Chains A and B, each alone.
Chain A
Amino acid sequence: MGTAWSTQLGHEMDGGQMSGQELISLEEVAAGKRGVVRHLGGGPDFAARLAAMGLAVGTPVEVLQNRGHGPVLVLVRGTRIALGRGEALKIMVESLDDGR
């Protein structure tokens, strides 16, 4: 992560509880909250697809819309990506904000 945008998140990571925090799935992250992707379940095909759209391990994500049902909308590297709830469940993130 080298851009100013991600570095800024990086600083927050350094200052915050970077390690030892438990991972939660993207499906549980509320709108307006941010996190860093730490693991992708769902096999190589799924991981390759997400990577090509900008979402890989180490990528900061911001949840734009998550209403507990219906698709989740996330902002990744300046790109808005809609994810089904099943897909969001397979993306494990480290939360960058307190709580959920």
Chain B
Amino acid sequence: MDASRVRGPERSAATVVLALAGQPNVGKSTVFNLLTGLSQHVGNWPGKTVERKEGRLLRDGTQVRIVDLPGTYGLSAHSTEERIARDFLIRERPDVVMMIADASALERNLYLLAELLILPVPVVLGLNMMDVAHAQGLEIEPHVLEAALGLPVVPLVASKNQGVAELLAAAQALAREPASFRPNRPEIAEPHREVLVRVRALLAGRIPEPFTEDWLAVKLLEGDAEVTVHVRNWLPDEDWAAVHEVLRAHEDAVLDIASGRYEWIARMVRAAVTQPRLGRITLTDRLDRVAAHPWWGLLLLFAVFGAVFWLTFTLAAPLQQWLDTRVIERLQAVLATVLGEAPSWLVHLLADGVLGGAGLVATFVPVLAVFFAALAVLEDTGYLARAAFVMDRFMHGLGLHGKSFLPLFLGFGCNVPAVMGARVIGSRSGRLLTILLAPLVPCSARLVVLALIAAALFGERAALVSWAFIGLNLLVLALVGVVLNRTLFRGEQAAFIMELPLFHAPNLRSIAQFVWNNIWAFLRKAGTVILLVSVVIWALSNFPGPGIEHSYLARFGRSLAPFGEIMGLDWRMLEALLSSFIAKETAIATLGILYQAPGADEGFMEVMAASVSPASALAFLTVTMLFIPCVATVAVM
């Protein structure tokens, strides 16, 4: 990634690099979306499975690059996200860090600021959710806080696009005059002040650029595992022994450092914040009586779950069928007339291969849009954390805890982020187990195949069949989890520490962005991999001919027939299964091509219904749902 090398002299003078930092659930991505709009580039941090978002904008003739750091509570070494964030700040030295804080939980948010201020980067503070804080009776005076902290403080209501332009202006102003940055920095608590001086003296002149003695000394006292290893490697043995002795005598320093930071925070906010009287019952309190209740919460979870699927299939499925019969089939007819002069193989390639294969897959956009929107709403309102909380008890039976529920739930969208999301699990065994179980969650691509085949073959009972398969998948997931927990992954439970964010109204812009990112990824897949496979399948099924029955694909399929018979599948379905390893939706493209009535106006659903028995459809679905994860999932595992 080019961004990892842009530093110092190589950076063009006209480009300003701003990093966006903040704790989780503070509306940071809303700010990022407002600043960068559609100019964002989503990738991964080098060598990591953590999403890296970056965007560019031009303001007052200056090129501004904005790097969205992972949301982190602090900057310790315990999670990949925190290590990524601090590595970026130390090694890349952005011109300014824009830290977004939740004004309604200001003290906790300023802990991250306390950590940022011991790094050599200028910071501007954006106080987001000022409206939420106000609704809770909190009165915050940004300019008083600004005076106390000695750094620019900008009030924001990002959900209403208030203050974001001012935040950017403040960051740019600071970037022009970095020397003007003289904040009030937190000092280490009294009992350890002298120790810090001693550690710093022992490090002086022995540490490589771009690290600073100040930061390393504090992190050593905090017992930071990564920094400890680094410093041990940098120092000669006898010097390390001296440092180590000091650290051993102050093993509890981490507790004092943390308390000291909160004392500093209390001093900073004292004049700027007026707290409400105790005893207010907030919306979150009321909703949590149900959502976080052990039994009501569970019932609610099932209801929410059912509603999401109901919504997806009642709202979007008819739209999908309309696209299939009205748009795709009409386009096929149009193609035939327009290209009447062209060689017939070309017409067939475009009509049957491209439109009948990849085109059919693309008709599922409405289904995915509704599903991803529902997922985004659940996440954005803060509900998913409650779901994880009430599921914690049950996850223990699988040797996991509530946090593993989140990546597994994401797996209903796509198994790839589910596997990647498993990194939030602290312990190695918990992480591995979550990764192993994730492909058993029926992803949207498999649900699409399920919906299509169930609708084609089981008519009225399609919904029942679909639910039965989803239930089967979850049952198998639970059984595999219990068995693995009792055998391979015994012992070692990870710490379960999770914030339940305040409930709040979902932000439409963030949801639209999430849906768009996922739909775009899906369309890219349909336009590349699935298109390619469709064309290859079409070619193999049409040559040397005549007809599919005498094609290369049929020959290959028949050679596999003995395997197919075991499962009760004919060669077409077997090939659909094989092609689904590339991407689950490809199974639809393959079936769409292979079950095409020659020349007739019948849709492929009728053709399939006529030539496939319900039993073999069930066998096909069982294999699709349970056994083969797609190549993308296997790649991230």
Contact = CB atoms under 8 A, between A and B. Distances in A.
A83 B262 contact: no
Residues of A in contact with B, size category: 35 or more
Contact of A58 (B72, B111, B115, B262): B262
A57 B254 CA distance: 10
Given A82-B498, A87-B495, A57 B259 contact: yes
A81 interface: yes
Interface in B494-547: 495-502
Contacts of A18: none
A83 B275 contact: no
B232 interface: no
A59 B78 CA distance: 22
Given A44-B224, A73-B389, A81 B500 contact: yes
Interface string B65-78: 00000001110111
Interface string A35-57: 00001101111111111111011
B574 to A, nearest CB: 46
Contact of A44 (B222, B497, B502): B222
Given A70-B392, A73-B500, A80-B499, A45 B259 contact: no
B290 to A, nearest CB: 12
Contact of B294 (A2, A47, A70, A76): A70
B623 interface: no
A79 interface: yes
B225 A81 contact: no
Contact of B392 (A45, A46, A82): A82
B495 A86 contact: yes
Contacts of B269: 2-3
Contacts of B76: 45, 48-49, 52
Given A48-B78, A82-B497, A84-B392, A67 B294 contact: yes
Contacts of A39: 255
B200 interface: no
A51 B499 contact: no
Contact of B111 (A5, A47, A54, A87): A54
A53 B497 contact: yes
Interface in A67-96: 67, 69-71, 73, 76-84, 86-87
A54 B262 CA distance: 8
Contacts of A81: 497-500
A99 B490 CA distance: 38
B275 A5 contact: yes
Q: How large is the interface on B (under 10, 10 to 19, 20 to 34, 35 or more residues)?
A: 35 or more
A51 B111 contact: yes
B104 interface: yes
The secondary-structure label for the interface of chain A is mixed
B108 interface: yes
A41 to B, nearest CB: 10
Contacts, number: 149
B278 A8 contact: yes
A57 to B, nearest CB: 5
B266 A49 contact: no
A54 B107 contact: yes
Contact of A57 (B104, B255, B495): B255
B402 interface: yes
A2 B496 contact: no
A71 B389 contact: yes
A39 B495 CA distance: 17
Contacts of A6: 266
Interface in B467-493: 493
Contacts of A51: 74, 111, 254, 258, 261-262
A69 B23 CA distance: 29
Contact of A80 (B77, B401, B495, B500): B500
Contacts of A4: 274-275, 277
A83 B498 CA distance: 7
A73 B285 CA distance: 12
Contacts of A1: 262-263, 266
Contacts of A79: 105, 108, 499
Interface string B204-227: 000000000000000000111100
A57 B258 CA distance: 8
A60 to B, nearest CB: 11
Contacts of A58: 259, 262-263
B41 interface: no
Given A78-B104, A81-B497, A56 B259 contact: yes
B393 interface: yes
B440 interface: no
20 contacts: A2-B266, A3-B266, A5-B275, A40-B255, A42-B495, A44-B223, A45-B223, A48-B223, A48-B224, A49-B74, A49-B497, A51-B262, A53-B499, A67-B294, A71-B389, A77-B108, A78-B104, A79-B499, A82-B385, A86-B495
In the complex, the 7 A-B pairs of residues with the closest C-beta atoms, listed nearest first: A44-B223, A52-B74, A2-B266, A84-B496, A51-B258, A52-B73, A54-B108
Given A51-B111, A84-B392, 20 more contacts: A3-B107, A5-B275, A45-B76, A45-B77, A48-B74, A52-B73, A52-B76, A52-B111, A54-B108, A54-B111, A56-B259, A58-B259, A58-B262, A58-B263, A71-B496, A81-B497, A81-B499, A82-B388, A86-B493, A87-B496
